[in-house]
Amino acid sequence: MNFTDQLLRAQARHDSFLCVGLDPEPAKFPSHWAGDASKIFDFCARIVDATKDLVCAFKPQIAYFAAHRAEAQLEELMAYMRRTAPQVPVILDAKRGDIGATAEQYAKEAFERYQADAVTLSPFMGFDSIEPYLRWPGKGAILLCRTSNPGGDDWQMQRLADVPGQPRLFEHLAALAQTTWNTNGQLALVVGATYPGEIAKVRELAPTLPLLIPGVGAQGGDAEATVRAGLRRAADGTVTGTIVVNSSRAVLYASQGTDFAEAARRVALATRDQLNAAAR
């Protein structure tokens, strides 16, 4: 089963558009583990156990593991999720952006070493930086398109004088991802929840691509506006353009006590229900 099919099946099975981001910061761990990087796997595994029936995806951010020399714990976590939540696709948040043989190695890292179902990529270097990932049948490639950080305006909002209609860079990227670049039918786009108007524009240009939307929760994105801007259904209710709404810190650090996993579940459940209410 390919990534998009896995995603849609998990959304239907768990009635959920929620993705939980796994961004472990030992300094923020519960008090009994605070500052202990050797507990990264244990912390994340507890979050997975508490939320695996409430989500459509998990998204570990590789930097939070690598910074603590915890790549082995990430491998262990990926294997654990495959055993205990095989119905939930896993997105490796790596934002890779190189070309040629280097991109081939990054793809091997994501899909072979870590066994991810999809990986986030920075497309700044063009299609050359995307194509090596598309050689992996069934694997997803999720491209940064309109990010939620203020500095995204430096590039993403610039108009392209040499392209008919002079679209902004993020608009041109969305159109390419929907058409020319989508050679394996497995592309998706990252669009920040802090810009619902631009989510709607991306959805207009890429009507069928999954949209990974970070920024709901601790970053202040509006859940209702996000769903209305990004989700599309056919007249019969079938989802034709799906969304994957990520929340990380609000779920992970809902409590610093020994009840952290139970608190994470409560926040994840509330967020899932909020997204679903907006989708109906």
Kindly indicate the confidence band of residue 173, based on its pLDDT and cuts at 50, 70 and 90.
Answer: very high
Q: What is the domain partition of the chain in residue ranges?
A: 3-279
Q: Which residues contact 139 (CB under 8 A, 6 or more apart)?
A: 2, 3, 110, 111, 116, 117, 118, 119, 133, 186
Answer whether 156's CB lies under 8 Å from 170's CB: yes
pLDDT at 225: 85
The two structure tokens encoding residue 152: 């995204």
pLDDT in tens, 18-42: 999 999 999 999 999 999 999 999 9
Say how far residue 164 (Cα) sits from the centre of its chain: 31
Q: Please, what is the end-to-end C-alpha distance for the chain in angstroms?
A: 28
| Active centre residues (catalytic) | 95
Where is pLDDT greater, at 106 or 224? 106
Q: Which residues contact 84 (CB under 8 A, 6 or more apart)?
A: 48, 49, 52
pLDDT at 221: 61
100 φψ region: left (φ > 0), alpha (ψ -120 to 50), beta (else) = left
The whole-angstrom separation of Cα 207 and Cα 196 is: 15
pLDDT in tens, 9-19: 999 999 999 99
pLDDT at 217: 59
27: exposed, middle or buried (C-beta count within 10 Å: 0-12, 13-18, 19+)?
exposed
Beta pairing, strands 91-96 & 239-241: unpaired
pLDDT at 94: 97
Mean pLDDT over 172-199 rounds to: 94
pLDDT in tens, 75-101: 999 999 999 999 999 999 999 999 999
> 151, 246, 163: which is closest to 205 by C-alpha?
163
The whole-angstrom separation of Cα 23 and Cα 249 is: 8
| Residue found by looking up tokens 């959304």 in the block | 11
The whole-angstrom separation of Cα 62 and Cα 193 is: 21
218 pLDDT more than 60: no
Give the three-class secondary structure for 86: coil
| The domain defined by 3-279 carries CATH number 3.40.605.10 | no
